[in-house]
Amino acid sequence: MTQRHEPIFNVPPVVVATVVVLLLVHALRMWVFSEAQDTEFLLTFAFIPARYDANLAAGAFPGGFGAELWTFFTYAFIHADLLHIGLNLAWLLPFGTALARRFGALRYTGFMLVTAAAGALAYLVSNPEQMAPMIGASAAISGAMAAAMRFVFQQGGMLGLSGEADAHRVPARPLLATLTDVRFLMFLVVWLGLNMLFGLGTVSIGGEEGQAIAWQAHIGGFFAGLILFNAFDPPVPQAQTDTRNTEPSG
């Protein structure tokens, strides 16, 4: 008898759907909306900290009270240009795939939305009067990256020694064990350092002159994903359920 394994490059449908939605939103902005419509779209669905300024005149931004709620999530579906969306998709595919396989579609979707909101909140706290819209899925993807750190360094994990296709099924490490793992700490130092360099403008990844990197949102999403991982991780490991569904092969 042999146990079935999922193909390593078999991207879950929910991740494919995420990619399609992000590309469709960007295509609408590039090829369908007029400049005025695109501006209205950004003001309605991007995250703008100044929207929450009590001293701001009523109706200064479209969407009203609803936009104060939905922009915590909708900003993550909007990207500045092809480079921006391409970089985010490059990180989403490996880490989003690992999480979607482990969490399932509903938990994955909820997790990505929550970490996007956490990134927006971190940006709001650090830039309360910022008028420029914040857009991009980087905060949610940072959360997925952090969540993956809870199991990828395990024996048999995605970054472990075996490199098996069902690496997402290994038991998760306790948060304290992850925080004291030298490999995680090295990853964290490099990741935080890059975010600081990009955020301070020391390193550029292209794009329009003056385009800022919302590094505070990345960090907020990352630590939200690291801490909230247990709230979304399935209570019954998939490896246990799969042992009941194995099929003999001749």
Whether residue 8 is contained in a domain is answered as no
Whether residue 75 is contained in a domain is answered as yes
- pLDDT, tens only, 127-174: 998 999 999 999 999 999 999 999 887 754 554 333 445 556 778 889
Question: Which pTM does this prediction carry?
Answer: 0.83
Residue numbers of the domain that contains 79: 13-243
Whether residue 4 is contained in a domain is answered as no
State the first-to-last Cα distance of the chain, in angstroms, to the nearest integer: 8
What Rg, from alpha-carbon coordinates, does the chain have? 20
- pLDDT, tens only, 178-227: 999 999 999 999 988 888 777 665 434 444 444 568 899 999 999 999 99
Domain at 56, CATH number: 1.20.1540.10
Whether residue 6 is contained in a domain is answered as no
The phi-psi region of residue 196 (left if phi > 0; otherwise alpha if psi is between -120 and 50; otherwise beta) is alpha
**Which residues, in sequence order, are CB contacts of 4 under 8 Å at separation 6+?**
242, 246, 247
Whether residue 20 is contained in a domain is answered as yes
Whether residue 249 is contained in a domain is answered as no
- pLDDT, tens only, 28-50: 999 999 999 999 999 999 999 99
pLDDT band at 51; cut points 50, 70, 90 = very high
Whether residue 2 is contained in a domain is answered as no
Question: How many folded domains does the chain comprise?
Answer: 1
DSSP state for residue 50 in the 8-state scheme: G
d(CA 116, CA 142): 9
d(CA 242, CA 186): 34
Whether residue 155 is contained in a domain is answered as yes
CB-based contact 76:214 (threshold 8 Å): no
